[in-house]
Amino acid sequence: MCVPPIVIGIIAGGLGFIQNQQMIAAQNEAIEVANQNQRAQFERDKIQVEAQRFNQQQQYDSTQLANETSEFLANRAAEKEISSINIQIAQAQEEAAIKKREKKLEATRTKGEILATGKGGLNIVNLLSDVDSQFAQYDWSSNRNLAFVGYQGSTDKESANIRRASRLAVLNPYIKQTYIDPVKPIDQPKVSKNTGLALLSAGFQGASVGMSFASGMKDLGYTWANGAWTKTASLANAATTTATTAGSTYFRNPFNRGWSYNL
């Protein structure tokens, strides 16, 4: 039959080992929960950064589309204005050419009529010179008017380009904000189950409990023999020691090591 201190030591050591393993398991479970929370936070931050980048891209694309549309319309408007100015200049040149041709024909007819009279002399020469002078004066005036029309057309074209530049100047590009990816968390290491060290610690704990139990029983006057606890002879006599004082009887209690009162 096993000695009780050994049994108690084994039980205490086993309980200590189980308690140690349960404590390590609880710590590892708490660490795993913390790691999962960190990973979930990391995934949430990643989604948030991606959403912010997507929002920035949408704003950038929208601004770019609006700017490109405004630039296209500004260019087309300037082209239309310049084209209209060129048409006006071409019309003025065409009208001047037609009128100049008419004046040329009219001068030619007039000179023909003068020559058809058959007269000669200085008077005829003066008449012909007068016709040429009138045509030359008209030609100079027509060319001068065309020069003003061309200058006005150049000024109008410059104004059209200025209006185009003004429309483009109000277009501002959208600068996307920069969002940095979150830092991937590092999992906290779990507590290793050092079974050998735990068993050794539990063995020492069990031995300490067993020895404390044996020492306590020895202090109470009991010894283990033949599978049972027996009281030693010296302490058995001490347990029956009595004292009589004023009609009262006292005896020594070996368990609490004091005097108990007994009527």
For residue 13, the one-letter residue type is G
Q: Would 71 be classed as within a structural domain?
A: yes
Give the per-residue pLDDT at 262: 39
Q: Would 106 be classed as within a structural domain?
A: yes
Measured CA to CA, the distance from residue 69 to residue 203 in angstroms comes to 84
Give the per-residue pLDDT at 85: 93
Q: Would 76 be classed as within a structural domain?
A: yes
**Cα distances (angstroms) measured from residue 68 to each of 58, 64, 108, 161:** 15, 6, 59, 18
Share of the chain above pLDDT 90, in %: 30
For 139-191, what is each residue's pLDDT tens digit?
A: 899 889 989 999 999 999 999 999 999 999 999 988 988 888 888 888 888 76
Compare 8 and 252 and report the one with higher pLDDT: 8
Domain holding 71, by residue range, is: 66-169
Give the residue-averaged pLDDT of 66-88: 94
Q: What is the domain count for the chain?
A: 1
Q: Would 26 be classed as within a structural domain?
A: no
Q: Which of 45-54, 130-139, 237-246 has the lowest mean pLDDT?
A: 237-246
Q: Would 116 be classed as within a structural domain?
A: yes
Q: Would 96 be classed as within a structural domain?
A: yes
Q: Would 103 be classed as within a structural domain?
A: yes
Q: Would 3 be classed as within a structural domain?
A: no
197 band by pLDDT with thresholds 50, 70 and 90: low
Return the number of other C-beta atoms located less than 10 Å from residue 234's C-beta: 9
Measured CA to CA, the distance from residue 120 to residue 114 in angstroms comes to 10
- With b for 16 or more beta-carbon neighbours within 10 A and e for fewer, the 157-195 pattern comes to beebeeebeebeeeeeeeeeeeeeeeeeeeeeeeeeeee
Which of 84-88, 108-112, 138-142, 237-241 is most confident? 84-88
Assess whether pLDDT exceeds 60 at residue 1: no
Give the residue-averaged pLDDT of 105-128: 78
- DSSP H or E run through 244: strand 242-245
Assess whether pLDDT exceeds 90 at residue 4: no
pTM for the model:
0.52
- Could you tell me where the DSSP H helices lie in the chain? 4-116, 122-169, 195-219, 233-239
Give the residue-averaged pLDDT of 42-59: 94
Assess whether pLDDT exceeds 90 at residue 86: yes
Give Cα 217 distance to the centre of its chain: 71
45 band by pLDDT with thresholds 50, 70 and 90: very high
Measured CA to CA, the distance from residue 207 to residue 12 in angstroms comes to 8
